[in-house]
Amino acid sequence: MFDSFLTRAALAGLGIALVSAPLGCFVVWRRMAYFGHATAHASILGVALGMVLSVSILWGALAVALAMGLAVAWLGRRGHSSDASIGVLSHGALAFGLVAVALTPGLRGDLSSYLFGDILAVTRGDLAVIWGGAAAVMALLAWRWRALLTATLGPDLARAAGIDPRREELVLVVALAVVVAVALKVVGALLIGAMLVIPAAAARPLARTPEAMALLAALLGAASALGGLWLAYLFDTPAGPSIVCLAAVLFAITAMVPRRTG
Amino acid sequence: MSLVALERVGVSLGGRRVLEGVSLAIEPGEIVTVVGPNGSGKTTLMRLVIGALTPSEGRVLRAPGLTVGYVPQKLHVDPGLPLSVRRFLSLPRPVSRAEAAGALEEAGVGHLAGRQMTELSGGQAQRVMLARALTARPQLLILDEPTQGLDQQGSAAFYRQIEELRQRHGCAILLVSHDLHVVMAATDRVICLNGHVCCEGAPAQVASAPEYRALFGTGTQGALALYRHEHDHGHDHAAHAHAHGPEDGAADARGLALDAAGPHGAGAGPGTGTGAS
């Protein structure tokens, strides 16, 4: 059943949508959207480094994304979490990545596939990486779920309950880096942030508990991935951006739902 | 043993000395109130007790396995986070429906279980946080400015409830407050803080002590003066011990150690200490 490139693309999109949903909820709740962008942009630099050092692109992207996540978290802890400093890191990493890719022999032509993804070129091996990474991150989030939620409400609230909020932040940094690295092939560095934030934001008006929001985000993300692929097939449009377009349309629709009260 | 003990603790934040030489202990089942002006280190002291802060000097000792219920002054719930009151109570420890309902009822907000946290008023949110803290069956309950936003009658009712909470749960309660009426009504021990422990003792004894009258006058003006008076002066820390428990209060005839006992002498009138309040 993995023989058709469309089947593989659909499975890859589903895997990314499922893992992006719970992680994207934390990105929304903790206002980490910029954090997600910085991590994703940094992965381009990792692609070039992986190529130069002849290690796999996946490990290169993962290592640099993780380093960026830790750097942003460290800055935040020191009270430098302004939009400006994260913006400098995020766009700086992207620019350095683009230059590094241009300087790397054999990568130049592939640049757009790392910026926007190339979901139709997903191999069986890629599928194994995507679902392996997604399963690991979902297990990590499920294990830390209550502690992560408590730390999201307030660091002191977490401390009083014996939870170290810095450890929970680290969990999210690692999860983000893994998702960015495995999603690079599917939606590309520029649109990973969109897959994290948009389905979660679209689920918000319909949910009354954090868990419901994560489940709805998974549903909306999966619908966007499959529907977007189908639209891309119908209209011969790029697959990654088509998926994000559909997610944005779903957001616009749920945003019109009046928020229930009481 | 004490639930929490601070031994000569000092804290510097961003190069500024926030606390200096603070020693105090909280015993099982006692109600302790910390009073002090803004910027006196009350919040820092509380964060030391819950373990959110490590001291730059001295040490914080906690009884092994100590359970703490913490009720912050405010809780900011991001509007992007859907969270019902019932679900909030199960963070981080899952509690049964009956347990949650009982705790909400006890905190006087039984009717709010189905509401979203973001819809609550400040006072309602604090009561919900109190309910959450109670479900942890705390040995030490910590309340930060619990009467802010309540009128005097509301405050009085709340503090009568504090006493009931202690009797029912047998927990010690640490309050941070600027509300002196409260201090007089429901507290075993008052700790007056301004970067260091200025004075400490049983509130009734504080109020009737000659030093108190000499320093702060009488009547409500006196009560106000207790937390308005100027604390930025030297202390001869060796001259008076700060670590009074209620049980050793008898060792000090008046059960308190006021600044007046320090190098300024008992004769120092209010004039010496009201330079810049």
Q: What is the pLDDT of residues A54-78, one digit of tens each?
A: 888 889 899 999 998 888 888 877 7
Residues of chain A above pLDDT 90, percent:
52
CB contact under 8 A, A160 and B52: yes
| Nearest to A12, CA basis, from A173, A171, A122, A136 | A122
Per-residue confidence band for B159, with pLDDT thresholds at 50, 70 and 90 = confident
Give which of A26, A80, A153, A211 to mutate to test B binding, by max B Cβ within 10 Å.
A153
DSSP annotation of B262 reads: S
pLDDT digit string, tens, across residues B108-138: 888 988 899 998 888 888 889 999 999 988 9
The residues, any chain, with a CB within 8 Å of residue A212's CB and separated by 6 or more, are A203, A206, B82
Chain A within 8 Å of B87 (Cβ-Cβ)?
Answer: yes
CB contact under 8 A, B77 and A155: no
Report the gap between the CA of A121 and the closest CA in chain B (Å): 35
Per the CB < 8 A criterion, the answer to whether B207 and B199 are in contact is no
Chain A within 8 Å of B23 (Cβ-Cβ)?
Answer: no
Per the CB < 8 A criterion, the answer to whether A251 and A198 are in contact is yes
Q: Which residues pair with B10 in a beta bridge?
A: B57
CA angle A47, A49, A55 (to 5 degrees): 85
Query: How many residues in chain B?
Result: 277
Average pLDDT for B29-39:
83
pLDDT digit string, tens, across residues B225-234: 444 444 444 4
Average pLDDT for A159-173:
92
Helix axes of A210-235 and A5-29: crossing angle, nearest 10 degrees: 140
Residues of chain B above pLDDT 70, percent:
70
CB contact under 8 A, A149 and B82: no
Per-residue confidence band for A1, with pLDDT thresholds at 50, 70 and 90 = low
Q: Can you give the pTM of this predicted structure?
A: 0.81
Query: How many residues in chain A?
Result: 262
Per-residue confidence band for B83, with pLDDT thresholds at 50, 70 and 90 = very high
What is the per-residue pLDDT for B160? 77
What is the per-residue pLDDT for B2? 87
CA angle B39, B42, B48 (to 5 degrees): 125
Alpha carbons B201 and B187: distance in angstroms, whole number: 10
Q: Using CB atoms within 10 Å of the CB of residue B178, give its burial: 0 to 12 exposed, 13 to 18 middle, 19+ buried.
A: buried
Report the gap between the CA of B47 and the closest CA in chain A (Å): 7
Q: Please, what's the largest Cα pairwise distance for chain A?
A: 61
Joined together, the tokens standing for residue B4 give: 């929490």
Per-residue confidence band for B183, with pLDDT thresholds at 50, 70 and 90 = low
The residues, any chain, with a CB within 8 Å of residue A111's CB and separated by 6 or more, are A98, A101, A102
Domains identified in chain A and CATH numbers = 5-191 (1.10.3470.10)
Give residue for tokens 């509401």: B115
Residue A160 has its nearest CB partner, among B68, B114, B116, at B68
Q: Please, what's the largest Cα pairwise distance for chain B?
A: 60
Per-residue confidence band for B182, with pLDDT thresholds at 50, 70 and 90 = low
| Beta-carbon contacts below 8 Å between A and B | 80
Alpha carbons B62 and B26: distance in angstroms, whole number: 10
Alpha carbons B105 and B120: distance in angstroms, whole number: 16
Domains identified in chain B and CATH numbers = 4-67+138-273 (3.40.50.300)
Give residue for tokens 């004075």: B199
Average pLDDT for A169-179:
94
Give residue for tokens 């030490």: B140
Chain B within 8 Å of A161 (Cβ-Cβ)?
Answer: yes
